[in-house]
Amino acid sequence: MVLAAIDIGSNAARLLISEASVYVDGTVDFTKLCLLRIPLRLGFDVFDKGYVAEAKKKKLIETLKAYKILMGIYEVEAHKAFATSAMRDATNGKEILAEILAETGLKVDIITGQDEANILYETHIAENLSGNKSYLYIDVGGGSTEISLFSRNQTIFKESFNIGTIRMLHNKVSEEQWEHMKWYIKTYTRNYLPLEAIGTGGNINKIFSISKRKEGKPLSLELLKDYHKELSNTTVEERKHLYQFRDDRADVIVPALQIYTSIMRWATADEIYVPKVGLADGLIKMLYSQRKGK
């Protein structure tokens, strides 16, 4: 079964096409056939002006036209398309989705932060780790951060906060929001210590790549602090040159590291695993479950 997921985030729009293969013992493998990321940066419009400007809207529609062509080439049997934080906040969000439907035939749903946390849960990352430990799942995006706590194979909480990298670049995160997230994490994790962190998102993936760590090995909080200090002392242009970061990574990686390290400190997590999955992977698995149910 070939499935596709479109994730329209605050920093980029992603297309993931995967093939689900079911074996006689009931296990399912998801093989990635195509993964594309277009840095539309909708959040730069929305968190500054409150709406998606005409130029960005046209790029978004053209991107989705291209994604639809690719889905046809790969003979996708079912797909889901979701938009997250930037489109939630955009005053013209619903109007844009109507245009997308009219021009591409693709139905895009705007989901809540809680929906994002629920979809990320579909990746079932923590279930593949030790059943005797507690894990804090942290997904940092351009517009929001989703946090879930798993302990002894049970979900303790799933929460979303309007603290994201692009919001921070635009000074749209207040001290009260930081204090609330700090209070929430300290309050709701204290009975599940010690715990380890699981990080997803393009920024933590990039840090993992440049760290040269082996797959499956965690990054330490101290290492993330070192990267945050080092990168904070460089300009965007220097980061692009020294680390070969793209434009749309060089500016957001510093606030992303601030979010990850802050959450880990508040939760007293010394290490973070980076499995390199995200919202699109959760969408694929959710779509597969729905199709299987039918």
Same domain, 43 and 73: yes
Q: What is the pLDDT of residue 291?
A: 83
Same domain, 240 and 162: yes
Residues with Cβ within 8 Å of residue 267, at least 6 apart in sequence: 136, 185, 186, 189, 193, 195, 197
CATH of the domain at 212: 3.30.420.150
Domain presence at residue 286: no
Mean per-residue pLDDT pooled into runs of 10, the chain (294 residues): 95 95 81 95 96 97 98 96 95 96 96 81 61 86 93 87 96 97 97 91 93 91 97 96 93 97 97 86 86 73
Question: Is residue 117 within 8 Å of 158, Cβ to Cβ?
Answer: yes
Domain total of the chain: 2
**pTM of the entire structure?**
0.89
Q: What is the pLDDT of residue 277?
A: 78
Q: Which residues pair with 157 in a beta bridge?
A: 149
Residue 230: what residue type? E
State the angle between helix axes of 253-266 and 175-189 in degrees (0 to 180), rounded to the nearest 10: 40
Q: Which domain holds residue 220?
A: 129-276
Domain presence at residue 283: no
Identify whether 194 is preceded by a cis peptide bond (ω within 30 of 0): yes
- Which of 56, 83, 113 represents a domain boundary (last residue)? 113
DSSP letter for 128, please.
G
- What number of residues does the chain have? 294
Q: What is the pLDDT of residue 281?
A: 86
Q: What is the pLDDT of residue 129?
A: 61
Q: What is the pLDDT of residue 115?
A: 83
Q: What is the pLDDT of residue 63?
A: 98
CATH of the domain at 20: 3.30.420.40
Residue in the structure block whose two tokens are 């204290």:
190
Same domain, 101 and 142: no
